[in-house]
Amino acid sequence: MLSEGFLLKVSFTGAPEFMDRNVGYGEASWHIFQEFKKQGIECLIGSPKTKIGISFVQPDQYKFGRKQYKIGYTPWESTGIFDSWKDPLSKDIDELWTTSPWCGEMFKAHTDKPVFVYEHGIQDDWVPIKRNISPDRPFRFLHIGEPAFRKDAQMVVNAFVELFGDDPNFELVLKCSRINTTAIFDPINGGVKGSPGAFYPNIKTIESFLSVEQMNGLYDLCDVFVYPSWGEGFGFNPLQSMAKGIPTICTAEWASYARYITAPLNSQKVSSHWPQTHPGDMYRPNYEQVVFYMKDIYENYQKYSELAYKNAFLIHKDYNWEKVTKPAIQRLQEINKNL
């Protein structure tokens, strides 16, 4: 029986990070859950008794009730999948949802089930700010994503050192999830000399936990966001930085919001460097472009800042959670009508 004010009822399950807003799966789950409720979908966590079940997780972890209409909802970052995903994608679901057009095309090569794309969004309180270079602190670059190798913080460290060395007028901030794997390498034998901060005091590492509100504030302390990722299922961090009007350097190939990237990076499709975690192909960003944009944005900051500020309002218009969630709700109503 439906609760008062709801159009239909679904079961919603997710990854171990379900509802943890400090990771991508959790941030998405939390907002989807809230928007479903606002727009008339009653969500029960892991109930086998609803007619429709949505499992927002990797395919080998899908969980459904036996009689449910089964929707797998999965983002991914490379062109290949694991053997353990093949049966779930072909036998354990009625349809697949994913998070970007790139993911949609990729998954169509791995399942004969219908594939639908429902993207994620940005919250209203990531407010656009018109940005100028501050005379009271170093010019600051930000990267988020360590220790995920595909996000290539090492490329950012290399570019920063090449451009600015230990010049105290420039800083690089690496926001990590507990661990930093970036290093400074010996130019002669290629061996690891040590962590970046040990040689360059203007490279700062944040390994501690930051709340959503603290992360919002961290963006505002920085001038440029640098994100040469080899692949993303959606890519919250670049969207967040751009929604705040921060000039953003980002790989374009996998991004559904590529038209809004302030400084889009070209990339080359290559065999994954991490086949154990990301089989198939990925998109290697162009290092020379990273170097070029980091220098050019600093030297022409007003131009890039104005573009980023203008695009921020378009991002809020196109990627607000109510708008991006509505097509998924319409699909659920269609499914419910036909059951």
pLDDT in tens, 124-173: 989 999 999 999 999 999 999 999 999 999 999 999 999 999 999 999 99
- Which pLDDT does position 78 carry in this prediction? 98
CATH number for the domain spanning 109: value is 3.40.50.2000
Task: Inform me whether the pLDDT recorded for 19 exceeds 90.
Answer: no
- pTM for this model (two decimals): 0.95
Asked if residue 324 belongs to a domain, the reply is yes
CA separation for the pair 160, 167 (Å, rounded): 10
Task: Inform me whether the pLDDT recorded for 2 exceeds 60.
Answer: no
Range 108-122 average pLDDT: 97
- Which pLDDT does position 5 carry in this prediction? 58
User: CB–CB of 241/219 below 8 Å?
Assistant: yes
pLDDT in tens, 59-79: 999 999 999 999 999 999 999
Cα-based distances in Å from 226 to 5, 51, 78, 145, 250: 44, 44, 20, 11, 6
> Are 313 and 293 in a shared domain?
yes
DSSP 18: T
> Are 48 and 151 in a shared domain?
no
Task: Inform me whether the pLDDT recorded for 100 exceeds 90.
Answer: yes
pLDDT in tens, 257-272: 999 999 999 999 999 9
Task: Inform me whether the pLDDT recorded for 11 exceeds 90.
Answer: yes
Q: How many separate domains does the chain show?
A: 2
- Map tokens 């794997």 to a residue: 181
- Is residue 298 very low, low, confident or very high in pLDDT (cuts 50, 70, 90)? very high
Asked if residue 127 belongs to a domain, the reply is no
Residues 6+ apart with CB under 8 A from 59: 72, 74, 81, 84, 85, 88, 89, 92, 93
